Amino acid sequence: MPNLEHPAYPAATLLHLESLVPCRESQVSMLLSIFGERQQFSFPSIFIYGHTSSGKTYVMQTLLNTLQLPHVFVNCVEYFTSRLLLEEILIQLQSYSETEQNSHVPCDTFNDFVRLFKQAVASRELEDQTLYIVLDRAEQLREMEVNILPGFLRLQELTDRNVTVVLLSEIVWELFRPSTGCFEPFTLYFPDYSIGHLQKILSQNYPPEYSADFYAAYINILLGVFYMVCRDLKELQHLAVLNFSKYCEPVVRGEANERDTRKLWKNIEPHLKKAMQTVYLREISSSQWERLQHDDGEPGQLKGLSAHTHMELPYYSKFLLIAAYLASYNPVRTDKRFFLKHHGKIRKTNFMKKHEKTSNHLLGPKPFPLDRLLAILYSIVDIRVAPTANIFSQITSLVTLQLLSMVGHNDQLDGPRYKCTVSLDFIRAIAR
């Protein structure tokens, strides 16, 4: 029994739509209920939100194209100013107009947009059906003029036309709502795909020369390795295509059949571990990765892989690490001798405390105050350094990394009296 039913659209069209949007039947059914029939006024504005790769853009494009609903689809990242955004909407509306406009009409304000929008939708094709304006990456609207977002939410009221504005975003509506208030849109949440949903979606793209069960077993292995670190559908699709040829090698050579899961897993396991190093990255091309797999080489043989790339720290972070290391292992009384050019004469003495006879590296790093860190920083940097927010933000980042490295070692954290220490192992870990 089909999950999508609507009296305004043929059953065959809805069945085809259902096959194109697997695991999103409930969201599509809700959208169909909101849209209603073509000639009916729909909800003025709809806000759809969810994490990356949750199917928001794909579902909206597939729904509008399959049902052949008049729509305008604009990415707010590409058209990053209000003028570019409003003019692009008007340009796309010209395709639905009977008369072609030969000259470009500038649109500087939202008032001009409302006037030009009324003229654009006055054609015969758009009078008797709802027009949908879809704004992808709608969080960029917050960076535009203050009247743009409230204007789009009330566009149906301002123009007195049958138009619905759909906002697609990765953040919740509470971060959009202006302090002065605005028209509240209908909100619809797209949850993340579960592992069962990902298994079903990825298994549909099996090559015709192999059985569906064989490819489903491969997807099951792939998700078992990558699901905990990557739940991005696009990235998983890329990984599935990239590593499938290696999974099929024993079958192609005749060393195993499609049901010999153990041999297939042993063959693909080391290559999936290599692929774990480049999840979400595109530091090498797919052809380079396939050549690396074919040669059974190590990831370091190709320049650019993340496991062996050189990470460059910010300029002042390097000196902050050096200053923190010097402050951790040198006594306070030696600062004047080490970091002042004209420190005067220092009387030599053979008196040493008992604990100072041991190497400071064996005793471990000592805590130091922030003022001492900055004083050492100013002395080892050639140029004059001002205590700006940039310096303090880098100090905060280094302290955060040090705290994260101490997770599980509660004896090193002394509540509010905790002072930063930087060990040589920590510096080595940062430099890797």
Mean pLDDT on 419-432: 54
Residue ranges, comma separated, of all CATH 1.10.10 domains in the chain are 315-340+361-431
- Give percent of the chain with pLDDT exceeding 70: 77
Please tell us whether the domain made up of 11-189 is placed in CATH 3.40.630.30. no
d(CA 384, CA 195): 55
Assigned token pair, 346: 């220092």
Q: What is the pLDDT of residue 380?
A: 82
Q: Per residue in 332-351, pLDDT tens?
A: 888 888 877 665 666 655 55
Give alpha helix (H) positions in 169-232. Answer: 195-203, 212-226
Mean pLDDT on 245-252: 90
Q: Per residue in 362-410, pLDDT tens?
A: 677 788 888 888 888 888 887 777 777 777 777 777 777 666 555 444 4
Residue ranges, comma separated, of all CATH 3.40.50.300 domains in the chain are 11-189
Q: Per residue in 87-129, pLDDT tens?
A: 999 999 887 765 555 457 789 999 999 999 998 888 656 778 8
Q: Per residue in 260-308, pLDDT tens?
A: 888 899 889 888 887 877 776 665 566 666 666 666 555 444 444 444 4
d(CA 273, CA 277): 7
Mean pLDDT on 416-428: 51
As its CATH architecture, domain 315-340+361-431 has: Orthogonal Bundle (1.10)
CA dihedral 315, 319, 320, 326 (to 10 degrees): 170
SS3 of residue 165 by DSSP: strand
